[in-house]
Chain A
């Protein structure tokens, strides 16, 4: 079975540019999570969706960040405008509601903002 697929794997861009990260969850999963990982702050939950609906976006750092899930098989995380402090590895994970099913992680997008 295909796991969680993230694209691109690496992104390097200049500050001020719009960045869009993409995620395809595992087929059949109904929860999707976006995380950010940095050396300083560790692993942070940014937002999560249940059945395509955003449930908790309290981890989204500021209005420059937005996330959408237009259907069960696709989600995007957008940063506009990007800043150097947004440089991090961004992970997408999917799972089932209820907490019992462990989340499955993608391999991440390594984002560098120059």
Chain B
């Protein structure tokens, strides 16, 4: 069975500072990995995805993530955050055998001025 662990429930950071949101997964097969963002009172919006190929994936809003198979990680990074990046971020995993996404518990990113 697949699972996703987001190690930090909350990450406070000052504006223009770099940030990393951590995600680890477990699976017995090759996986597809996703990061979603949820702004207040909205649904989840795709930030980026890893399907295959280059392990460094670039997404919207200046975010990127790196797939590390040996460490079973898919950490999300941004070199300089803005106030508008304040939101909940979810890591998710699936594979070619299923359409189900397994979500982590989310990380609340709070950006302070």
Contact = CB atoms under 8 A, between A and B. Distances in A.
Interface of A: 4, 31, 33, 42-43, 45, 48, 50, 55-56, 91, 93, 95, 97-100, 102-108, 110
B99 A102 contact: no
A98 B90 CA distance: 21
Interface stretch (B13-21, B38-46, B64-72): B38-46
- For chain B, which range describes its interface: under 10, 10 to 19, 20 to 34, or 35 or more residues? 20 to 34
A99 B96 contact: yes
A55 B43 contact: no
B1 to A, nearest CB: 12
B100 A106 contact: no
A43 B90 contact: yes
B99 A48 contact: yes
Given A99-B32, A99-B94, A55 B99 contact: yes
Contacts of B36: 105
A111 B101 CA distance: 23
Contacts of A50: 99
Given A31-B99, A50-B99, 13 more contacts: A45-B100, A55-B99, A98-B96, A98-B99, A99-B95, A99-B97, A99-B98, A102-B46, A102-B49, A105-B36, A108-B41, A108-B42, A108-B43
Contacts of B44: 43, 91, 93, 105
Contacts of A108: 41-43
**8 closest A-B pairs by CB:** A105-B43, A99-B94, A105-B44, A102-B46, A107-B43, A43-B103, A42-B105, A31-B99
Contacts of B51: 100
B111 to A, nearest CB: 21
Contacts of A100: 32, 51, 96
Most buried by B among A33, A43, A48: A43
Nearest to A50: B99
A25 B45 CA distance: 15
